Copies of this chain bind each other. A is one copy, B any other.
């Protein structure tokens, strides 16, 4: 019926950009560390580590420009998927499918890496709603090959 998520956090690692085997649609995945507001008395857990998936043009922008440690805002929805391991056991996965990803800090790696110039403003990228060159809009497809 309704399924809305907004997160702000940092990438735990560099994102992973792949092309789905069946239709070559770009798909990028990363994990977001979202710090909790309170501090545990034992100092134990301080963050939630939330798997994020992006598709198509947004996947390419994220895969080519985000890096470990970058601060981003993600808007999207929660999705559940299942996959079967080699032993025939079914595993369930809950992840966030991002519709929008906003880059909230400037590019830290000022070296000569192939990142685009983010300029002096905060950049934001929306999802490619019409699917660009891709054949037919399907909100979620080719869920195989996802690393989670």
Contact = CB atoms under 8 A, between A and B. Distances in A.
Contacts of A129: 129-130
Interface string A60-89: 000000000001010101111000000000
Interface in A105-144: 105, 122, 124, 126, 129-130, 138-139
Interface residues of A, number: 42
A3 interface: yes
Given A7-B2, A102-B1, A71 B34 contact: no
Contacts of A130: 129-130
A73 B51 CA distance: 21
Interface in A19-70: 34-38, 41, 48-51
B48 A80 contact: yes
A24 to B, nearest CB: 19
A14 interface: no
B5 A4 contact: yes
Interface of A: 1-9, 34-38, 41, 48-51, 71, 73, 75, 77-80, 92-96, 100, 102, 104-105, 122, 124, 126, 129-130, 138-139
